[in-house]
Amino acid sequence: MERSSWTLIIIAALGAAALVLSFVPSAWPNPLEGVNEAQRIERLPQLADAAAAVDAACRKGDAVAFAEATTASYRKDLEQRLDAVEATLTGQTLQAMAAGASGYEQWLAQPLWALEATGPVAVAAVARSTGDGAQVLVFDWDGEQFKLDEVRHVVRVTGPEQAKTFVRELLQQR
C-alpha cells in the first residue's frame, strides 16, 4: 500500500475516532434511574461503596477524601453542626466523629425498605436496628460516582410501604 493511502486511512481513522468520542458522554447517567426495582436493588452496592468511602475518609481523618465522597450541601450542614460545639471540619474532627460510630456503610446492610432514584438523586430507606423508625440516606450522582448528600432519621416511618411513600415525596420535593 502506498504511503499516501496509509496516511489517508490513519487520518480517516482518527476522524472517525474523534467523531465517536464526541458522542461519548462525559458524565454517565444515574445508574439507579430508569431501571426496575429489582435492578435498583442489585445496584445497591454502589451506594454502599459511596457510604464506605465516607466512612473510610472519616476513619483516616482525610478531609480531602471526605470532600470527594460527600456533597457540598452535606458538608455545609455538618459544618453548621460542628459550629454549635465550637468545632470545625478537620481531619481530626472526622476521626473523632468516626470513633465509636458504626458508620454509614453498615446502615445499608440493614433491611432495605425503599430504594428510589430520580434524576441524579438516589434515596435508600432502611430499618434502624434500634427499631425507632427508618434511616434515610440520600446520594447525589455527579456523573461518575455517588456522593452522600443527606442523612435523615425518620421516626414516623415504620415499614416498607411508609418508607416508599416517604422516599417518593422526598424525591418530589427535591
Partner 1 sequence: MALVLICLTACQRTSTFPNSPGVLPGWRAALGAEQRVRGFVLDPSEPLPRLDPRSTLVVVDRNWRVPEASTAERHRKVLREFVEKGGRLLLFGHATRMVHDLEIEAERPECSVYRWGFDRRAMSGEAELSMHVVSGHEPELFEGLTPGVSEHSFPITGGTPCHVPLCAWQVGGSKSGRVLARLGEVLDGEPAALGPPVVLQWQLGKGQVMACGLVPHLNHEREAVRTNAREFVARCADWAERQGGDELVLLEVLDRTPHDVAAESLGPPIVPWLAHWGWQVALYDGDEPDSLRPMEELVRDALVPGWMHGADIVELSLTDAQHGAPITWPESDPIEPPVTYRGTTPLGSWANGGFRTFADEAHTRGLLVFGGMDPLPVGDRPAERLVLLRKHARELMGLRRHGSSAWDGFGLRQWWPDPQGLGLAMVQDYQPSASLYCVGERVPKMAGSLRAVDADDGALRGLSLAGIADGWRAGFAFDQYPVGVLDARVVGDRFPGVGVRGGGSYGDWLVRQLNEFVRERRLRGGTALWRRHDPRNLGPDTVDYVQGLSLEPLRAAVATPLSATGRDGIRAAARELIADAPQDFGAAVDAPAAVHVLQNNWFRLLGSGGALAFDPRGLGRFESNAVTISPGFCATRMFGGRPDASEIKAERHNLLASGHRGEGDYRKYVRIAIGERGDGRLPALLAADHAPQWPAGVVFDWQPSTGYHELRAELRCENGGGLVGIFLDDTLLKAVACHGTGRQPELIVPVHIAKRGARTLRIELLEGHMIAIDRLQLHRAGDIGVEAEVQIAAGSVAKLLERSTSSYHEERVTLTAMADVPGFVMQTRCDKAARNLQVERRLSLPGYHTVTGSLPGDDEKARRQAFVLTSTDTSKPDICIVPLSMPRYERLRVDGQAVIWRGAPEPGLTTRIGFLFWPHGRGHESLQHLPRILDGIDRPTAVDLSRNGHMDLVSDLPITQSRLLHVQSDVRTPFLVRERGYWTMRGSQPAADGGVYLRVHQEPSDVVRIVAGPSVLARTRPGPGSLRILAMQEPTPRSVTATVLQKSRLRAPSVVMAVDFDEVQVNGKPWSFFDGRTIYLPDVPGIYEIKTTFAGARLAKPKDPHVRSTAAPLMACSYDAGTNELVFETTSGHNRPAGLPWTAVLTGPMPVAIENGEIVDAASLQLPDAAAQAAAERGGVLVRFRSGKTTVRYAGWNAVAGR
**Residues lying near partner 1 in the complex (CB under 8 A):** 73-74, 76-78, 80-87, 96-97, 101, 104, 135, 138, 149-153, 173
User: In the bound complex, what is the minimum distance in angstroms from residue 121's beta carbon to partner 1?
Assistant: 13
Q: What number of H helices and E strands is found in the chain? A: 8, 4
Nearer to partner 1, 43 or 59 (CB): 59
Other CB atoms within a 10 A radius of the CB of residue 146 amount to 26
Nearer to partner 1, 116 or 150 (CB): 150
> CA 136, CA 122: separation in Å to the nearest integer?
10
> CA 123, CA 135: separation in Å to the nearest integer?
10
> CA 91, CA 116: separation in Å to the nearest integer?
32
User: In the bound complex, what is the minimum distance in angstroms from residue 131's beta carbon to partner 1?
Assistant: 14
User: In the bound complex, what is the minimum distance in angstroms from residue 145's beta carbon to partner 1?
Assistant: 19
User: In the bound complex, what is the minimum distance in angstroms from residue 153's beta carbon to partner 1?
Assistant: 4
What are the helix (H) ranges across the chain? 3-23, 37-42, 44-60, 63-69, 72-84, 91-98, 104-107, 160-173
User: In the bound complex, what is the minimum distance in angstroms from residue 38's beta carbon to partner 1?
Assistant: 28
Nearer to partner 1, 22 or 173 (CB): 173
Q: At what angle do helices 44-60 and 91-98 cross, to 10 degrees?
A: 120
Nearer to partner 1, 31 or 49 (CB): 49
Nearer to partner 1, 43 or 162 (CB): 162
C-alpha cell, 75: 458538608
